Amino acid sequence: MLAGAALTGAAPAGAVPGAGRIPSGITYRQFDVPAARGTVRAHVLTVDLTDPHVRVDLLTPGAVAARARVSAMADAAGAVAGVNGDFFDITETQHPGVEATGASVGPAIAHGRVLKSAVPTAQRFGPSLPPGTATTDVFGVGVDRRARLGRLVFTGTVRTPAGSLPLRGLNQYALAQDTVGAYTAAWGSVSRRRATCGSDTDRAAGCSTDTFEVRVRDGKVVGTSRVPGSGPIAAGTTVLLGREAGADRLRRLVRGEPVTVRGRLLASGARTPYRFAVGGYPVLRAGEPLPGLDDNVSAVRTAVGYASGGRRLLLLALDGATAYRKGMTIAEVASEMRTLGATDAFSLDGGGSTTMAARTAGAKTVRVLNHPTDSPERAVANGIGVFWKP
């Protein structure tokens, strides 16, 4: 059951709008909202982060380069509720023969552990970003149990006997041109070839033929390859992948040579570490919509926001049933989140990805509360999970 108590009023999404109060820190309600292109149905979870029984964290499919349904990720993790998360590498029709990785666009932190960093802005999937935002923008909750918006920028170094070279990414489906990125066991088994495709200005640009990989274990080079590899990466092993000038630097390394790989995500404007973080982009800051938000394209949306200085969390998922499928613009989402009481809000992936699931009274598994536009439920890169413990 959701948060250890019956989810009163949690009728199917097509039913009469209702509301439910969860005594231990989680509330669910659904209601209709007038939008520019017609009435939409909103599904909202409100989470009290001051409740000691409640926490939120990142839902994952078990690897960065993988996808799973929100309901499956929630059940596997023991979450009582969840929504979909970041935009992701959903298709590679622009690169015939290259496998889509399913990896998310932005940084990701789960259980305090860094999983990945952000791809270059030109390589992202999703609608155009509002002015002044970037793929490094995140929503997250700190170890202080307070939600916040921020940025997580990756910085790293590869130290070799011949000197140091910059490390420009971690477990990313796309690397900037002329750079080196690192891949760990968290990446999964999907081919790393996609990381060398596209350019710094065009996601559809071709794949580089100037690539090189170095496998490092126990501080030493244990293997090299002229092409990006695939298959699981053993725990304790790091694969360094370079393209163009980055590949040239890696070619200088030989088997048995000592190599030290260091990297971390640096948070802007905050000293409190994130417990979890997910990518997307901000739409509301300090109670004001960001300038330049799109007010033309309507779609089914997912968003997350917070109030009360980050102590109250708001999760919004629009319904994708035919009667409501026209959705909202991003500007309307920002306005609705403010109406709901959020001071800051963040857009997550939408369209066929928009999913809200929760565990109802007496159930052992979650059920989907909205009607996703994709049927069956779309597999996504990650999500935000709500957990309850007695």
State the burial class of residue 25 (Cβ atoms within 10 Å of its Cβ: 0-12, 13-18, 19+): buried
CB 54 within 8 A of CB 48: yes
Chain-centre distance of CA 40, in angstroms? Answer: 25
CB 267 within 8 A of CB 112: no
pTM score, two decimals? 0.94
Q: In terms of Cα–Cα distance, which of 275, 69, 265, 91 is closest to 173?
A: 91
pLDDT, position 16: 31
State the burial class of residue 324 (Cβ atoms within 10 Å of its Cβ: 0-12, 13-18, 19+): buried
CA distance 131 to 283: 10
CB 331 within 8 A of CB 41: no
pLDDT, position 291: 96
CA distance 23 to 354: 26
**Distance (Å) of CA 77 to CA 4, 26, 48, 388:** 16, 18, 20, 11
CB 105 within 8 A of CB 115: no
pLDDT, position 363: 82
**Other residues' Cβ atoms within 10 Å of the Cβ of residue 341:** 14
CB 387 within 8 A of CB 56: yes
Instruction: List average pLDDT for each run of 10 residues in the chain, which is 390 residues long.
Output: 29 37 76 96 97 96 98 97 98 97 98 98 96 98 97 97 96 98 98 98 98 98 98 98 98 97 91 95 98 97 98 98 96 98 98 95 88 95 95
CA distance 316 to 348: 10
**Distance (Å) of CA 9 to CA 21, 37, 120, 340, 368:** 8, 27, 43, 19, 14
**Distance (Å) of CA 337 to CA 83, 141, 255, 284, 389:** 16, 18, 55, 8, 28
CA distance 208 to 67: 26
List pLDDT tens digits, range 135-190: 999 999 999 999 999 999 999 999 999 999 999 999 999 999 999 999 999 999 99
pLDDT, position 280: 98
CB 334 within 8 A of CB 288: no
Dihedral sign for Cα atoms in the order 278, 124, 132, 300 = negative
CB 344 within 8 A of CB 149: yes
CA distance 70 to 382: 8
CA distance 259 to 251: 13
Which H or E element spans position 72?
Answer: helix 70-77
pLDDT, position 262: 97
pLDDT, position 327: 97
The residue behind tokens 């998310």 is 104
CA distance 349 to 74: 17
CA dihedral 292, 295, 299, 302 (to 10 degrees): 50
Q: Is 369 left (phi over 0), alpha (psi -120 to 50) or beta?
A: alpha
CB 229 within 8 A of CB 195: no
